[in-house]
Structure 1
């Protein structure tokens, strides 16, 4: 499955970082670019369960392609969400089913830094995305 230009840009940006410290800084910058969700969108209905931090996810389908918006109360997680969104946004539902979160973050050089709870949380977000595409 080929990457969108945005996902390829993320991959290139992270590949150019020599170490974890630089990737962590870049991760925080990606999180700051994540558009904020309004109070009306940060509701229990949009909350993703299975994350230690609070995460909210909204999804809409336009012309068979999905667009997601997400936010979190945790700064590091906002960066991870931003990177997940560039990987999955604009995919049709059938391609979304094939996305491998662990492989994506490994390719960004972030896999080893994901704690089991963060990995589980990101998988919960992806699972919720998949549920939304089936609804």
Structure 2
């Protein structure tokens, strides 16, 4: 199953009437993540600042960065798909230019996830932006 785009996610979430339905949708998104090999679940791939364990592996090349992610929490897996929709298989320039704060505002996430989950999302975004910045020509 391919991951949805940011526009598809925004459209899909707008369809639901309640946040309970939106949470179910986000959790279902997490089921579409590629399997993360157990041997990659190493301390150097852990994203610091997340309440749950989140592992991030980078691939691709200088033109298009690809991310493989996983978490030990089902809701976080879904939140990771929201992040991947914005960043996966994009150029470093596109990653840095993407207005993630506006995207999260449109998703209305901050009002509906705990502050610790919000901090974890910010830590993941910061790590991805650092990777993209380091990959700039």
Structure-2-length-normalised TM-score? 0.85
Describe the SS at the equivalent of 1:33.
coil
**1:120 to 2:125 alignment:** no
- Corresponding residue for 2:79? 80
- Corresponding residue for 1:93? 92
Describe the SS at the equivalent of 1:64.
coil
Can you list the C-alpha shifts for 1:114-134, whole angstroms capped at 9, x where unaligned? 222111111111111122231
RMSD of aligned C-alpha atoms? 1.7
Structure-1-length-normalised TM-score? 0.87
Which whole-Å CA distance do the structure 2 matches of 1:7 and 1:70 have between them?
17
Which whole-Å CA distance do the structure 2 matches of 1:102 and 1:76 have between them?
20
Alignment check: 8 A CA contact 1:48 1:54 kept: yes
Aligned residues: 131
- Corresponding residue for 1:50? 49
Alignment check: 8 A CA contact 1:59 1:129 kept: no
Which whole-Å CA distance do the structure 2 matches of 1:117 and 1:74 have between them?
13
Alignment check: 8 A CA contact 1:31 1:81 kept: yes
Deviation at 1:20?
0.5
- Corresponding residue for 2:13? 14
Describe the SS at the equivalent of 2:52.
coil
Q: For structure 2, which runs of at least 5 residues remain unmatched after alignment?
A: none
Q: Counterparts of 1:32-47 in structure 2 under 5 Å?
A: 32-47=31-46
Q: For structure 1, which runs of at least 5 residues remain unmatched after alignment?
A: none
Can you list the C-alpha shifts for 1:66-92, whole angstroms capped at 9, x where unaligned? 111111001111110011101111221
